[in-house]
Chains A and B, each alone.
Chain A
Amino acid sequence: MPLWICEMKKMHLYQKGLVYIGLFFIFSLSSMILFDKPANLDIELNASQYAFYLNQVKGAYSEESEHFFANESAKISETKVKLKEASDDFYDGNINESEYILISTPLEEILQYEKGYKIIYDQFIYIREEPEQRYFLYTNGWDGLISNDNLDFLYILLLLVLVTPVFCFEFESKMNSLNLTVKKGGRNQALYKIGLICITVVMLCLLHAGLKFGFYWLKYGLENGNYPLQSLSYFATSTKSSTLLETFLWLTACKLFGSLCLAILIMFVSVLFKKYAFTLFTCTALILLPYYGFRLESSKYFLPGPLGFMVSSGYFRGNEYVRNMVNGQMIFVFKEVSTMLWLYLFVITLCLCIGMSLAILIRSTNKWCEIRPRFRLRPLHLMLVICVFFLSACTPNTRAGESNIYNYSFRQSYENEYYHFYVEESEGNETRIVFEVKQTGDKQHFVRNPMTSLTRVEKTVFGNGSYVYYMKYNSDKSEIREQMNRLSIIEVNTDTFDEKIVFEKNLNTVKTSINLFKSNNKEMAFFHSVSGFFLDEENIYLVGHDEIRRVHQSTGKMSVIIRFSVLRHLAFDGQTIYYIDEKSQVVKYDTRTDIEEVIPDLVTQYFILTNNEIIFLNRKDKQKIYAMNVSDSTFRRITDVPVLEFYFDEQSIFYVSKDDLKQYRLDWA
């Protein structure tokens, strides 16, 4: 049997190399599927709106696109005004329905894509700074593929477990002296070993790169690979001229070189010290410590050795600065690695590799191996158990039961059988949520946590029977300034006033702990702008200033379900969301079936949802108060006079008449 076949058998079969490789690809693929998040979540949540605009400006920046953006913003604001006018005309009876539809349909089509325009406009602002190098393109695919310097732990572990035993396996059984007597031993065998490892590593690296490319290509599509690198904001200030695809190829080549270098390093250390533990320890420390130890992200790229090449996206980045808070000067957060320096680093690392290979050859001794007793399956079992253990950490959290009616304009108050909860804004700037016991009229704080520092409670409550919810931001003061840390929605059982967290979002953008996992925080803005929320059994709905997002309570899956340009009013009855659209119509959105429909003839700027009726100011009848029965869609008039505003309780309805601006009371009966 030729030597290389024997070595290959030893590596891949007896030492379970193939099993580890298989496991690596399974874990790697599943972690990509499970944990991959788009770099810019807004684009994914508003994919069709974004695509509409992207298709019109894709490619290089030109005068045309500049005009396009100038015109488009004007067009959108004009459209809004026109639509408002047309609606007013129609509701006042100046035009008839067919005319109105004729006017409004094209206008609505324009407004439909407004959110997409906002996203592409952000991109436009970025591109305008350097129009020659930055192109319009869909960035999530390429961003996911190349815009990160995350160390691939699984890959490092795989290399360690594959390469370490190549020499250690034989040292362990102390057969070195025997090796010297064998004809095919010595350098010859060491050469085969190195060659075999190099081939395996090359294959692995290429396969893995291919897998990643395939994954991002399938998930996002990797179009426009010929656009310049600077189109991605991660490489904004880069001075390298390269296209996206070229960069990916370069990164793969660098990673290949880095992996080879690491493999040779592992073999070198193992030949030198002949011990598993020491080899593994040294190599892990050499990779992990420079990766986490440096303050500047770029420092690791200035060191020769495998690490820089394994996470080589940094070689393509440009200088990045941030303003020092204390003295106001600009300081580096990333220092560019020049091509010259990169070449030096490459040559030094290459020389190190060659030196190490020579050292391996010189020091290597050979031994015709016997088959060691096989490993039992235990490590596999252990791994599986651990994985199951970590994957099963989530528990569902649902609250069944009938739902309460939620009206956005009443988000600062909620009433149930025993209590009335509301936001009190007295006492200077201090706002707090209080509740009143209905029987006794006692007033108490609703948020019972006595330690109020580093917590900000938002001025919104949501109630459902005896369960009342509030929202708070926690912060920490690990820097000079306070940092927002977490957004949580808390459920309070008002029978016992026990609190429970139903939703939590980490908003921390500064480093915590050892910070093994760097987070990307482009999606945080939405969570800072949440002005209200409501829940059903499975989902939490967060109201932002121009959209409503639905978050699944147990899986955390998030989607944008409703978009509007201006939030006028909305209500929720446990299944259906009612909101007012641009044409002042009330739209019904069913949260179970995701079907949206406009309620005919209901035109208003303000409404209140009750158990079975929508009470509203009828735009079509001079702002008189009307009520619409939700189940059979019949209308009834409540007042005969035009009304400015109204509210009501169980007994009566209170309204301010438009004619004399006086408040009136009207009993329901």
Chain B
Amino acid sequence: MIKLIVFEFQKHFLKPSIIVAVLLFSLLSIAKIHSIQNTNSLFSGSNTSPAWKGLYWNLYEEFGGAITNEKIEKLMAIYRPLEYQTADRTASSDHNPDSYTGGNIYMDRNFFMWNYVNPMKYAYEYKMYANQVVSAAERNMDFFESIGNTFEYKKNAVIKELFQERSISIFSYKEMYHYYVQYDFSAFLVLLICLYSLMHVFISEKETDMEMLLLTTKSGNNKTIFAKLMASAIFVCMLCSWFWTVDFVAFSLLFGSFESASTPLYALEDFVNSSIGVSLSQYAIISGLIKTFGIFVLSLLFLVVSCFFKNALVPFIISLSIMISLIFMNEVYMGSGRTLQKIINPFVLIVNRELFRKTEFVDSFGYPMLHYMAAILLAVVWGLLLTLGITVFVKKNTLRKGVKRHAIMDL
């Protein structure tokens, strides 16, 4: 069996064209990450002077790490006068070599505000916010119990559980993760490669009219289908791991930091209501896994479509249109409160920050289910249906031909 899988893998995926495409697209992805860094980073040459970066890392030694009252006071002692002087916008905006950033006082204020004061304030206040959420959830539990709404009661119990003990005790450099979690371009590239390489998995034998021959072999029929599916799964996993690793390393190197790995996910302000309490590095792994799964489900879809055709032309076009439609649907419901419409689309697994940045629930037979779990479950269902589809549709052809063959042998 393993031999068969290895053979299928070699046949379909170890082609020079695929390898070249992977390498080229990796470079493209890196270039894209570079442009993201260049446009958005507070330390990129196009936004600020190089002094910012140096100053940031100098101060980081002093202010990074555990947040203490001394650090806060020290920081505010620098920031308050800046804020006070720039409050009515009458301070001189002339170049001042004595300023912290080597620019003017407004730049100093911006530097401290964006890099230190705002993030530290957010981290410091997060514990309070989490406590507020917990006490609100507790109040809700009492309230919903009193009016007999068990679904909402359970929902608030889950929220309480999630937000209990949440706090951010460490101040760290998070800019890289801020942009990393919003990066989807590589997923689009991976999908294109999958679309191309998976087209041939079921078609290659039909193109060469070898499918009849395949049926007469010992390991034909279901074994071959299984081997093909396994090989495709392995390929998708390898491809995704490669791209997600490239992304992560490129982000880390271009932003120049491997910091914040153990900072909790909700330290990112967009994830203030995050539905999971993992660290940023764990999130990077979880998100990668879920993305891979999402891409696998779409790959199964491409495979199902290709089962119906004798060459790659029409299935490619149909798969591409389905892919575009799914992306479109996903964009329509991105950020929407209509949870069901959002998670029914397997593409949401690929843009999975949508599942983790808010805590939303789906009603599953009276039990509140966190919507990322529901999305994964639904994707599993999609996956099973599509696999079933593949076995049914491919088998039908072989059976029909099998019967014919049988009859001839009988004769």
A-to-B contact residues, CB < 8 Å:
153, 157, 160-161, 164-165, 168, 172, 273, 275-278, 280-281, 284-285, 288-289, 292-295, 324, 326-327, 331, 373, 375-376, 378-379, 382-383, 386, 390, 393, 444-445, 448, 450-454, 474, 476-480, 485-486, 488, 490, 495-498, 501, 504, 506, 508, 512-517
CB atoms of A514 and B184 under 8 A apart: yes
Q: Does B285 contact A (CB under 8 A)?
A: no
Give min CB distance, B103 to chain A, whole Å.
Answer: 8
Q: 18 A-B pairs, CB-CB below 8 angstroms?
A: A153-B321, A164-B313, A280-B320, A281-B196, A294-B35, A324-B46, A326-B110, A390-B329, A452-B132, A452-B133, A452-B136, A453-B129, A474-B337, A476-B270, A476-B357, A497-B149, A506-B335, A513-B331
- Known A-B contacts A382-B308, A516-B331; A450 and B156 likewise in contact (beta carbons under 8 Å): yes
CB atoms of B351 and A168 under 8 A apart: no
Which B residues are in CB contact (< 8 Å) with A331? 46
CB atoms of B327 and A161 under 8 A apart: no
Q: Does B338 contact A (CB under 8 A)?
A: yes
Residue of B nearest to A276 (CB): B312
Give min CB distance, A322 to chain B, whole Å.
Answer: 12
Give min CB distance, A433 to chain B, whole Å.
Answer: 14
CB atoms of B182 and A478 under 8 A apart: yes
Which A residues are in CB contact (< 8 Å) with B229? none
- Known A-B contacts A285-B192, A451-B133, A498-B152; A486 and B337 likewise in contact (beta carbons under 8 Å): yes
* Contact segment of B140-148, B251-259, B402-410: B140-148
A504 to B334, CA, bound (A): 12
Report how many A-B pairs have Cβ atoms within 8 Å. Answer: 192
Q: Does B47 contact A (CB under 8 A)?
A: yes
Which B residues are in CB contact (< 8 Å) with A326? 42, 47-48, 110, 114
Which A residues are in CB contact (< 8 Å) with B334? 508, 512-513
- Known A-B contacts A278-B196, A295-B35, A378-B308; A512 and B317 likewise in contact (beta carbons under 8 Å): no
Q: Does B395 contact A (CB under 8 A)?
A: no
A448 to B359, CA, bound (A): 14
Give min CB distance, B86 to chain A, whole Å.
Answer: 13
Give min CB distance, B387 to chain A, whole Å.
Answer: 18
CB atoms of B336 and A504 under 8 A apart: yes
Which A residues are in CB contact (< 8 Å) with B207? 172
**Residue total for B at the interface (Cβ-Cβ under 8 A):** 82
Q: A281, A376, A390: which contacts B325 (Cβ < 8 A)?
A: A390
CB atoms of B143 and A448 under 8 A apart: yes
Give min CB distance, B270 to chain A, whole Å.
Answer: 4
CB atoms of A379 and B308 under 8 A apart: yes
Give min CB distance, B112 to chain A, whole Å.
Answer: 14
Closest 8 CB pairs of A and B: A450-B136, A281-B196, A276-B312, A277-B312, A451-B273, A326-B47, A277-B199, A477-B270
Q: B21, B195, B312, B321: which contacts A157 (Cβ < 8 A)?
A: B321
Q: B114, B137, B338: which contacts A501 (Cβ < 8 A)?
A: B338
Q: Which of B290-321 contact A (CB under 8 A)?
A: 305, 308-314, 316-318, 320-321
Give min CB distance, B132 to chain A, whole Å.
Answer: 7
Give min CB distance, B253 to chain A, whole Å.
Answer: 19
A124 to B189, CA, bound (A): 45
Residue of A nearest to B316 (CB): A280
Most buried by A among B48, B196, B351, B357: B196
CB atoms of A281 and B313 under 8 A apart: no
